[in-house]
Amino acid sequence: MFNIDYRLVPPVAWNLAAPDVACAMAWAQSQTERLHTNPNRSLIVGQSAGASLALQVAYGLGDGTFASSCAGSVHPPDAVFALYPAEDFGLLWTDERRVGPLDTRDVDITYIGGPPAQYPDRYRAVSAMAHVRAGLPPTLIAYGEADHLIPIGGHRPMAAKLTEVGVPNVLLAIPYNDHGYDAFWGSIGGQITRHVLGEFLSQHFPAQSGATQ
């Protein structure tokens, strides 16, 4: 398992973060003998901003939106597990949320550079919703129905769009739970998520003997 760092804001990182993740993946996949890993087998996982980034990388690698920031070939992930992601960054602007000092429009400004009307191409690049197509890796999206930070309005349309093009997917909604609900290991929401994740991995990313990544 690899815990990947990537460039953060400031400056705007819409075209930096995903390539940095791809760079780390390329490096890991080039170190198979030393790390005893399988270069052709990977699962990408993230929470919140990391979940949004996991989708950006998993979906953007195949259509040329993103590439490794340090060159090297990257084998796209075989499956994706995204916890409460933003599949459509435009929703962070139109369905503005504020939690303490955090404002979703500020997130868009610092990460992308401004509003959707000013940077439509940037919003398309980072919004996984715009990159749904046949052949994408199986995807599990989990979220709390009482999420006060990420608009939940993007989750069901995303799942419907994946289903429409034949991409295996699971959408898990946890009632009465908020953003970051899985931080409590023994919570009901956390237990449900682990159970569903186990079933998802058994079907789409089963354990194999020998080296795995």
Are 102 and 149 in contact by the 8 Å Cβ rule? The answer is yes
| Helical spans, DSSP H, in 39-133 | 49-60, 89-94, 104-112, 120-126
Question: Given a cut of 50, is residue 109 above it in pLDDT?
Answer: yes
Element (H, E) at 148: none
| Candidate CATH numbers 3.30.70.1400, 3.40.50.1820, 1.20.140.10, 3.20.20.70; the one for domain 17-204 | 3.40.50.1820
Q: Taking residues 157-183, what's their average pLDDT? A: 97
Backbone angles phi, psi at 206, to 5 degrees: -70, 150
Distance of CA 205 to the CA centre of its chain: 17
Write the DSSP symbol of residue 107. H
In the structure, what pLDDT confidence band is assigned to residue 210 with cuts at 50, 70 and 90?
A: low
Are 31 and 104 in contact by the 8 Å Cβ rule? The answer is no
Higher pLDDT, 185 or 171: 171
Are 76 and 69 in contact by the 8 Å Cβ rule? The answer is no
- Which residue ranges make up each domain of the chain? 17-204
In the structure, what pLDDT confidence band is assigned to residue 213 with cuts at 50, 70 and 90?
A: very low
Backbone angles phi, psi at 66, to 5 degrees: -130, 150
Q: Taking residues 148-169, what's their average pLDDT? A: 98
Distance of CA 36 to the CA centre of its chain: 26
Q: Give CA–CA dist 66/63, Å, rounded.
A: 8
In the structure, what pLDDT confidence band is assigned to residue 20 with cuts at 50, 70 and 90?
A: very high
Q: Taking residues 145-168, what's their average pLDDT? A: 98
